[in-house]
Structure 1
Amino acid sequence: MSLREIKPGNRGYLYVNSHPTGCTAVVDRMWQRTPDPAGDRPGPVALVIGSSAGYGLAATLVGLRAHRMRGLGIAFESAATERRTASAGWYRTARTAELAAEAGADFTFLNGDAFSDGVKDEAAEQLAARFGKIDLLIYSIAAPRRTDPLTGEVHHSVIKPLGTDYRAKTLVFEDGAPQIGELHLQAADEAERDATVQVMGGADWQMWIDALQSKGLLADGFQTVALSYVGSDITAPIYRAGTIGAAKQHLEDTARAINTQLKGSGHACTVVAGAAVTQASTAIPSIALYTSILHRVTGDSWQATVDQAAALWNQLAGDAELDLDDQDRIRLDGWEMNPGVQAAVRAAWGQADADTIATSADTDWFRDQVGQLYGWDVPGVDYEVAAETTVPWPASPSSDV
């Protein structure tokens, strides 16, 4: 037991600690927003890679509650120490596992580096022993670095433009007050571009398919999706036309390669999600300002990650038609890319300055959303009460008593 009174510690949008009670409350709120189960049919056997945060967490919660998903989630999180809390994803996973158990779901979690061969082997062993084959793989990883298991080389991703330098407005908070800052990033060189593709492209997704297929674990009609993003032309220079965009293009190329490999026995595609405040997105320059303006413009039409995950699951389960674009990508971003919405965002972006930022963008909402990624600023949580920081990772089937 390790009861502590915890205070938030952060550098900009990065928090160095998390609040277990707050993280639990965040998961509970997402669970309550998830649709109720549709019928009593057994759910698919699924592997969710990146199940503790962002769209991966949302897809896990929707799969468990609304579609009776069985299977395994993989995340890479850190436990609490004498000096630090556990990572937010650790606490979120612990609560997700409790909700899964309460719902009677046969689902467990593996903590480890999904890029490694060891985790691939362990996941395959668990899935083979418990289920035989899997119906679905959801790939949702955003990482700063990746060690290539074949070469041992460590690749580091960068967030930079390609071709020309990038100058743009950015949202910063000075003493808690929103301010407009100016950003200047130099263009990436070829080595930085290639390294980012190695980390955030489709290489690891392909390795997962190879590993599972070689062990005979892909069911007939197997589906796999990888989460991606396109976004607005406002953010294109730093996103879709930058190093991350090169990685996302590689991810889409990988989907086509996997389809060829599956030879009609399954299907792979990328999923273009809409904007969201996630631990990954807050690291991208200018995205904070863009997302704050977008939320101001969309209001009640804003689609949270759980809403988008519910739409995705409905399509994967056959309850709704696949919403595919001409590049065979599932689109969940129609609410964001609506021409009227984008025109309004573009106008507000152009006018945003020190005098108008408070009215042109939902800056308070954005700041609270960032805090909630780590369990802070969650309505209803009493942060003056000591919280238990030493929370066990969910037990694996082999350790069940």
Structure 2
Amino acid sequence: MTEDCLDRVVIKPRLKGNISRTSHPYGCKKRVEEQIDYVKEAGKFKGPKKILILGASSSYGLASRITLAFGCDADTIGVSYERGITNEKRLATAGWWNNIFFKQKAEQEGLVAKNFIGDAFSNEMKDQVIDYIKTEFGGQIDLLIYSLAAPKRKDPKTDIVYTSALKPIDEVVIGHSINLENGKLFKQIIEPATDEEIKSTIKVMGGEDWELWIDALEEANVLSEGFKTTLYSYVGPDITKAFYGNGTLGRAKRDAEQTSDRLNERLKNRVFGESIICCSKAVTTKASAVIPIFPLYASALYRVMAEKDLHETPIMHKYRFFKDMLYGNKREYDEQGRLRPDSWELREDVQEETKALLKQITPLNFKEITAFNRFKDEFMQLSGFNIQGLDYEQLVNLEELKDLLP
């Protein structure tokens, strides 16, 4: 960020490793608009009308919200943990701007778009959301989407704070990943998780909080007949199995699957409802960019899928999931009863070619032979950068923007 005067600045991208430290408000606005345009062009479909999305401000959560608002004319409530402009740091997070500009566009079309900013794991947030549903949102919801990706969670019953760990179990994993800040390949050695780290990751990323939300919503009698809920998971191929299938993330996701089985029986019996796990494909998100080895795998995968005309961004993937699967007649289940829109990624030919490509990669050629530039662009676009048609030398008036509330 460079300053012209106190409240007018040129906002530049600033990375620390694979974490973006700045976001561009007008870039975020344009990216939201592009996703809305994609849904409008793809067309309307029959779906839910009253939706609660936990983790609504970016990536799959935001894509789901846009899909259902502009694809189904749905009213939405979004819960997210974001930061606005402050006197100390000045700049807001990308999710803050996404919430604001989504709300503006939705309300222009007569849709309700309520944003709650705060800790989705807390009882206080559950109470606030339920009160809003009862008093201002028609009294019931048709769908709850659980798309939270947080590094920590405070247990509302004990006040103990748990921290997740992205690690393998019972093995040391050695591999390569990409440092997006310097654009270089680097070697990673990841030690196995301790028992405590495994338990903590399950507490943060498993199904416990999802079930607590359903408990609270059901007790408040705000679930409609036919209510559905889905949690976004990832299975992945053998290449990422050390972290997903067999690692701490995998343990957390198995816990979520067991939770979904319980919820499904309960909802089916009480409101003729449904709980289901959605196994999504690999996409570029703030969370996936810091998962060990994943950026290199994704860069190779994207080249293969793009060549086969199969590559999807979050908005493309979630539009297909909702239209064709959750509310359509093209459901693809696995033996565990999970929905598998990730089947394109896991196609045998896609995985064989991705593995072959990964074997050819060196520190000197990885940018040329993979879709690294696509992965990097998609990552930067999460924060409003690298978007065509935007003048990033233009001064941004923070004084005008800081009064905008999500």
- Structure 1 length-normalised TM: 0.93
Comparing 382-391 and 93-102, the one that deviates more: 382-391
Cα distance change of structure 1 residues 241 and 39 upon mapping to structure 2, 3 Å threshold:
closer
Out of 155, 163, 169, the residue aligned to residue 156 of structure 1 is 163
Q: What per-residue deviation string (whole Å, max 9, x for no partner) do you get for residues 214-260 of structure 1?
A: 01111111100000111111111122211111111111111001112
Comparing 358-367 and 17-26, the one that deviates more: 358-367
Q: Which residue of 2 aligns with 1:184?
A: 189
Aligned residues: 393
Q: Which residue of 2 aligns with 1:115?
A: 121
Q: What per-residue deviation string (whole Å, max 9, x for no partner) do you get for residues 72-107 of structure 1?
A: 111110011123300100001111001101221122
**2:298 is equivalent to residue 291 of structure 1:** yes
CA contact (8 A) 1:134 1:218 kept: yes
Q: Which residue of 2 aligns with 1:131?
A: 138
**2:23 is equivalent to residue 14 of structure 1:** no
- Residue ranges of structure 2 left out of the alignment (5+ in a row): 1-5
Comparing 370-379 and 270-279, the one that deviates more: 370-379
**2:157 is equivalent to residue 167 of structure 1:** no
**2:325 is equivalent to residue 319 of structure 1:** no
Q: Tell me the SS of whatever aligns to 2:239.
A: coil
1:317 CA drift (Å): 6.2
Q: Tell me the SS of whatever aligns to 1:330.
A: coil
Q: Tell me the SS of whatever aligns to 1:64.
A: helix
Q: Which residue of 2 aligns with 1:310?
A: 319
1:38 CA drift (Å): 5.6
Query: What is the correspondence of 1:159-238 to structure 2 with a 5 Å cutoff?
Result: 159-173=166-180, 175=182, 178-238=183-243
Q: Which residue of 1 aligns with 2:96?
A: 90
CA contact (8 A) 1:240 1:246 kept: yes
CA contact (8 A) 1:371 1:377 kept: yes
Q: Which residue of 2 aligns with 1:399?
A: none
1:169 CA drift (Å): 1.6
**2:351 is equivalent to residue 342 of structure 1:** yes
Q: Which residue of 2 aligns with 1:279?
A: 286
Cα distance change of structure 1 residues 41 and 167 upon mapping to structure 2, 3 Å threshold:
closer
Q: Tell me the SS of whatever aligns to 2:238.
A: coil
Q: Distance in 2 between matches of 1:40 and 1:30?
A: 16
Q: Which residue of 2 aligns with 1:256?
A: 261
Q: Distance in 2 between matches of 1:85 and 1:306?
A: 26
Q: Tell me the SS of whatever aligns to 1:149.
A: coil
Q: What per-residue deviation string (whole Å, max 9, x for no partner) do you get for residues 249-274 of structure 1?
A: 11111100111222432110110000
Comparing 252-261 and 1-10, the one that deviates more: 1-10
2:138 counterpart letter in structure 1: F
Cα distance change of structure 1 residues 366 and 63 upon mapping to structure 2, 3 Å threshold:
same
Q: What per-residue deviation string (whole Å, max 9, x for no partner) do you get for residues 137-179 of structure 1?
A: 011000000000000000000111001111112123574xx43
Q: Which residue of 2 aligns with 1:398?
A: none
Q: Distance in 1 between matches of 2:404 and 2:210?
A: 25
Q: Distance in 2 between matches of 1:373 and 1:37?
A: 22
Q: What per-residue deviation string (whole Å, max 9, x for no partner) do you get for residues 287-325 of structure 1?
A: 100000011111132011111111122146633332222
Q: Which residue of 1 aligns with 2:50?
A: 45
1:192 counterpart letter in structure 2: E
Cα distance change of structure 1 residues 39 and 179 upon mapping to structure 2, 3 Å threshold:
closer
Q: Distance in 2 between matches of 1:31 and 1:44?
A: 17
CA contact (8 A) 2:15 2:181 kept: no
1:123 CA drift (Å): 0.3
**2:362 is equivalent to residue 353 of structure 1:** yes
CA contact (8 A) 2:277 2:339 kept: yes
CA contact (8 A) 1:255 1:269 kept: yes
- Residue ranges of structure 1 left out of the alignment (5+ in a row): 396-401
1:276 CA drift (Å): 0.4
1:184 CA drift (Å): 0.1
Comparing 110-119 and 309-318, the one that deviates more: 309-318
Comparing 352-361 and 375-384, the one that deviates more: 352-361
Q: Distance in 2 between matches of 1:154 and 1:27?
A: 33
Aligned-pair identity (%): 32
CA contact (8 A) 1:231 1:274 kept: yes
- Structure 2 length-normalised TM: 0.92
Cα distance change of structure 1 residues 35 and 332 upon mapping to structure 2, 3 Å threshold:
farther
1:182 CA drift (Å): 1.1
CA contact (8 A) 1:94 1:394 kept: yes
Cα distance change of structure 1 residues 354 and 42 upon mapping to structure 2, 3 Å threshold:
closer
Q: Which residue of 2 aligns with 1:59?
A: 64
The alignment yields a C-alpha RMSD, in angstroms, of 1.9
CA contact (8 A) 1:49 1:140 kept: yes
1:41 CA drift (Å): 7.1
Q: What per-residue deviation string (whole Å, max 9, x for no partner) do you get for residues 162-206 of structure 1?
A: 01111112123574xx43321101000110000000001111100
1:105 counterpart letter in structure 2: L
Cα distance change of structure 1 residues 121 and 37 upon mapping to structure 2, 3 Å threshold:
farther
Q: Which residue of 1 aligns with 2:274?
A: 267
1:44 counterpart letter in structure 2: K
CA contact (8 A) 2:64 2:315 kept: yes
